[in-house]
């Protein structure tokens, strides 16, 4: 296949949905939509895709991740259930219940499902990509009873980080090593890379501290006390809920006047620091510590993280810097650029060597494969292969 592919990456973020058109390693088109608007008008995303045509491939919103799967591989009659089950890890009924409660997060999930259903109807060239748990480079014992080691967007931005470090330091992919903190509006994640391979990670719901929206890893005693949980609880309970601040900027504004805001921000930073240090067990001391995501652009949060890293007895001498961007990128998030980059490499474009090195196409299964608990049954899950 000709390396000069035109690939669109779609990153379905909690705050914005970013579309990145990549051609021959250069970003040639960018669209940023408010997730809350797309939630109520899914056709906005379809129109945005049309504006970026022509394209050879679309990397669809891949949620928790599956092995590299093309849209036309999934039978029409099971597609909707497959998407809710394996990409969103929920059900249509549960999302509709969230909509009835007025939960915007449920509207976003519903819009994603409706949009990809429209892609299916139009027979668009769409591929879904893995999450970190699907990779063969992460040892299986690290996946036991895990679902979220980093969703597809976290994998995508890490692949971007490996490429940019290789270019920046003029080293082969096999010599890259980094720990990446992706600090998003909803979730945080930390990913460890050595020898250019993703070896271990903390996903948004397995982080040792809260994100802005998500509570992070939950104490099992809390799980028992609450008893009844729904999908919407995955993206609630973070520092936004505890502080009453609707945006990270509001949290920063109350930092100087409300002691509890100081504690909440420190709780988030503490979780990121613990995750970064924990990953040195899996990948050693990295060449660089990188950061990306909407929250990392806020001076107070970014500077607090950097200052804490400088004080670390283990990582104090390691350089900390932003992931960076592909040529031509001006407004799309790093995750959207990563989505497009992965799609290009999977399809045999200019990044095929990187994707082959990182063994992305060798990913297998789905995010539910490693759950082993007497109260979880896999028997009723929809099958398509």
Dump pLDDT digits (tens) for 335-353: 999 999 999 999 999 999 9
Are the C-beta atoms of residues 360 and 342 closer than 8 Å to each other? yes
pLDDT of residue 194: 98
pLDDT at 102 over 80: no
**Where are the chain's structural domains?**
146-329
Q: Which residues of 316-353 are buried (b: 16+ CB within 10 A; e: fewer)?
A: eebebeebbbbebbeebbbbbbbbbbbbbbbbebbbbe
Dump pLDDT digits (tens) for 166-195: 999 999 999 999 999 999 998 999 999 999
pLDDT of residue 377: 81
pLDDT of residue 290: 98
pLDDT of residue 1: 44
Are the C-beta atoms of residues 129 and 62 closer than 8 Å to each other? yes
pLDDT of residue 383: 63
- 380 confidence band (pLDDT: 50, 70, 90): low
In 3-state terms the chain splits into helix, strand, coil percentages (rounded to 5) of 45, 15, 40
Q: Is 34 helix (H, G, I), strand (E, B) or coil?
A: strand
Dump pLDDT digits (tens) for 2-45: 558 999 999 998 889 999 999 999 999 999 999 888 888 888 99
Query: 207: closest CA among 229, 235, 227, 228?
Result: 235
pLDDT at 305 over 90: yes
Threshold 0.85, pTM exceeds: yes
Mean pLDDT of the chain, nearest integer: 93
CA dist 20 and 71 (Å) reads: 19
Distances (CA, A) of 51 to 124, 134, 234, 273, 385: 14, 32, 33, 41, 34
Query: 303: closest CA among 252, 239, 264?
Result: 252
Are the C-beta atoms of residues 231 and 106 closer than 8 Å to each other? yes
Is 146-329 assigned to CATH 3.30.420.40?
yes
Dump pLDDT digits (tens) for 107-130: 888 888 989 999 999 999 999 999
**Average pLDDT estimate for 299-316:** 96
Query: 267: closest CA among 320, 311, 208?
Result: 208
CA dist 176 and 195 (Å) reads: 5
With a pLDDT cut of 90, the percent of the chain lying above it is 81
pLDDT of residue 385: 52
Question: Starting at the edge strand that comes first in sequence, how are the strands of the sheet with 288-292 ordered?
Answer: 197-202, 188-194, 177-183, 288-292, 319-322
The pairing of beta strand 177-183 with beta strand 69-70: unpaired
Strands (E), 232-366: 288-292, 319-322
Dump pLDDT digits (tens) for 32-43: 999 888 888 888
**Average pLDDT estimate for 36-65:** 92
CA dist 3 and 1 (Å) reads: 6
Dump pLDDT digits (tens) for 158-167: 999 999 999 9
pLDDT of residue 4: 80
Q: Which residue has the tokens 């270019």?
A: 167
> Token digits for 112?
């994603």
With a pLDDT cut of 70, the percent of the chain lying above it is 97
Measured between its terminal Cα atoms, the distance across the chain in Å is: 26
Are the C-beta atoms of residues 275 and 248 closer than 8 Å to each other? no
Dump pLDDT digits (tens) for 214-244: 999 999 999 999 998 888 888 889 999 999 9
């Amino acid at each position: 296949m000709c390396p000069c592919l035109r690939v669109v990456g779609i990153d379905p973020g909690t705050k914005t949905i970013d579309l990145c058109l990549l051609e021959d390693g250069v970003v040639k088109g960018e669209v940023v939509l408010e997730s809350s608007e797309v939630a109520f008008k899914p056709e906005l995303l379809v129109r945005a895709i049309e504006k970026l045509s022509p394209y050879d491939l679309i990397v669809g919103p891949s949620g928790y991740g599956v092995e590299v799967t093309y849209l036309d591989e999934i039978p029409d009659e099971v597609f909707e259930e497959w998407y809710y089950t394996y990409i969103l890890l929920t059900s249509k009924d549960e999302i509709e219940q969230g909509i009835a409660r007025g939960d915007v997060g449920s509207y976003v999930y519903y819009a994603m499902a409706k949009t990809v259903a429209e892609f299916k109807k139009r027979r668009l060239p769409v591929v879904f990509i893995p999450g970190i748990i699907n990779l063969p480079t992460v040892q299986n014992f690290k996946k036991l009873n895990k679902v979220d080691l980093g969703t597809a967007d976290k994998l995508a931005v890490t692949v971007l980080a490996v490429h940019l470090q290789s270019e920046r330091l003029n080293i082969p992919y096999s010599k890259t090593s980094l720990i990446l903190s992706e600090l998003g509006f909803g979730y945080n994640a930390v990913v460890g890379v050595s020898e250019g391979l993703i070896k271990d990670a903390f996903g948004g719901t397995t982080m040792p501290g809260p994100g802005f929206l998500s509570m992070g890893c939950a104490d099992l005693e809390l799980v028992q006390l609450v008893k009844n949980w729904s999908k919407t609880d995955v993206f609630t309970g973070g520092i936004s809920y505890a502080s009453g601040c609707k945006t990270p900027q509001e949290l920063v504004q109350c930092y100087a006047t409300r002691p509890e805001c100081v504690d909440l921000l420190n709780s988030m930073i503490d979780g990121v620091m613990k995750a970064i240090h924990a990953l040195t067990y899996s990948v050693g001391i990295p060449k660089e510590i990188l950061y990306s995501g909407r929250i990392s652009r806020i001076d107070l949060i970014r500077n607090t993280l950097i200052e804490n890293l400088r004080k670390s007895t283990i990582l104090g001498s390691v350089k900390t810097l932003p992931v960076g961007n592909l040529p031509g990128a001006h407004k799309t998030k790093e995750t959207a650029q990563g989505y497009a980059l992965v799609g290009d490499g999977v399809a045999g474009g200019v990044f095929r060597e990187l994707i082959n090195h990182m063994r992305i196409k060798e990913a297998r299964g789905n995010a539910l494969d490693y759950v082993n608990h007497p109260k979880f049954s896999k028997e009723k899950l929809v099958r398509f292969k």
